A and B are shown apart, each in its own frame.
Chain A
């Protein structure tokens, strides 16, 4: 049977094709800036994919997700500062540190629900922010320049912008596939069931908190990877990476793209950052335009942009 050709599939395939072909286009036109912008989009999309796992599928409204960006980033930055530039050391440390941080936050915060959960995750992320600000050896408030990108084996060179772009794209697509598999597995169904009706899940025999905690740690680890990428991309880490407004940006990406949709976070990240870029070119007060746009999407499209695309599919007769 042929899969139905619908607007949503078309948009996603076109987006993916554009992402794959982007460096070719910029190579021809010499517009290097686009590669930089889209590398950033891919990295933040990866962070949004990880947030979507707990927020969209797990119903865990973490308001401190940017903390992992910072932890992954600082792991790379600090190790590079101390002369350890091997990615085979830096990246596992980034992932492990993020996982441990998530384990501690999760163990303490997952007993709570709703506003309390939001406030606790926010508090922990702000704590991480202030700790980073106090690291005077590593630049404190001013941040830390990463003079050398992570070193891997011979042909892979992260300083090569095209190579780095494709690495980010590959990791993002792998993450989307991983989350998709995860959410359809036994584990994923438990996490989603717990979002839908936690009391019932416990009544039918699931110790839901340990599944939610594992999910929280997986998401934190994935976001730590995004942090390691971001440090390599900007060649700079600073406490601002984990400020609460950055966590807010990630939530906006997830909600804008579509919570609980595999490609939603990528669509949301691309839409938000491209809009930001385009609008800031028109006027200094671009946020005045962006704000109402976001409001409209939240008010009228419950599943975000991806939800709108699905709706379009439903209206097309089969």
Chain B
């Protein structure tokens, strides 16, 4: 069995008296879609923030592709192929959709100390960006300013930006947040298509989507991992049922 792509050991983070991440261990194998679920305030976003480098853990270790990345700043992790999408849509609103995605391409196309050439006329930035937009079905919206697009489209641009960097692993923080049923279904299809091609860590509230997509699920409650395993095992787990799954069971009938 090969080494997991992402390996988290004994990760801990406190904010004053609140323990947001409590001794978390996590392994994501290459090619796996690993979902993290948990009730509100379970520390899911805090965990993603530590994995992406936005927050420093108080203790513990994060390894990615064999490298210890615990102390690396965000941009270095991104360059190693760890791409993150944000829970709250976080785009460059005054730029066009294509500009947004092209920036993500540019971030991985060498340094940006180029002062003269028109970056919007560089095919090596624009073509991969167009391809990523096409992948998420937004080609026809490419030239519009991001501020003119809908929330659902913003989520898709988020995804396109993560894809455009040709990452080894996607960290997706609630990609379905705020989407209507139709848009959610579209996003699930999109993620299903990406599955296998990319390793994905998915934080999501939408239980239906999680159980439909995930190879493995980790359940987080008050910053602790209470269970981890394949969807069937999670559904059958008594602790999980007790702590959390009541509402999800209702969804599944």
Residues in chain A within 8 A of chain B (CB atoms): 181-182, 184-190, 192-193, 196-197, 199-208, 211, 214
Provide the B104-119 mask, 1 if CB < 8 A to any CB of A, else 0. 1011100011111111
**A187 vs B119: C-alpha distance when bound (angstroms):** 9
Would A204 and B90 be within 8 Å (CB), given that A181-B116, A184-B120 are in contact? no
B13 contacts the other chain (Cβ, under 8 Å)? no
- Number of B residues, CB within 8 Å of A: 35
**A200 vs B115: C-alpha distance when bound (angstroms):** 22
Would A206 and B116 be within 8 Å (CB), given that A196-B95, A197-B91, A197-B92 are in contact? no
For chains A and B in complex, what number of residue pairs have CB atoms within 8 angstroms?
93
Least Cβ distance of B110 to chain A in Å? 9
Asked if residues A204 and B104 are in contact (CB atoms below 8 Å), the reply is yes
Asked if residues A184 and B165 are in contact (CB atoms below 8 Å), the reply is no
Choose among A189, A200, A206, A208 the residue that contacts B90 (Cβ–Cβ < 8 A): A200
Would A203 and B94 be within 8 Å (CB), given that A185-B118, A189-B99, A189-B106 are in contact? no
Would A204 and B78 be within 8 Å (CB), given that A185-B114, A197-B92 are in contact? yes
Residues in chain B within 8 A of chain A (CB atoms): 52, 54, 73-75, 78-79, 83-84, 86, 90-95, 99, 103-104, 106-108, 112-120, 122, 125, 161, 165
Interface of A is mostly: helix
Asked if residues A211 and B104 are in contact (CB atoms below 8 Å), the reply is no
Least Cβ distance of B108 to chain A in Å? 6
Least Cβ distance of A211 to chain B in Å? 7
**A196 vs B91: C-alpha distance when bound (angstroms):** 8
Least Cβ distance of B77 to chain A in Å? 8
**A187 vs B106: C-alpha distance when bound (angstroms):** 10
17 further contact pairs, Cβ within 8 A, besides A192-B95, A197-B90 = A181-B118, A185-B119, A187-B113, A188-B115, A189-B103, A197-B91, A200-B91, A203-B78, A204-B103, A204-B104, A204-B161, A205-B78, A205-B104, A206-B107, A207-B75, A211-B112, A214-B113
Least Cβ distance of B12 to chain A in Å? 23
**A203 vs B158: C-alpha distance when bound (angstroms):** 12
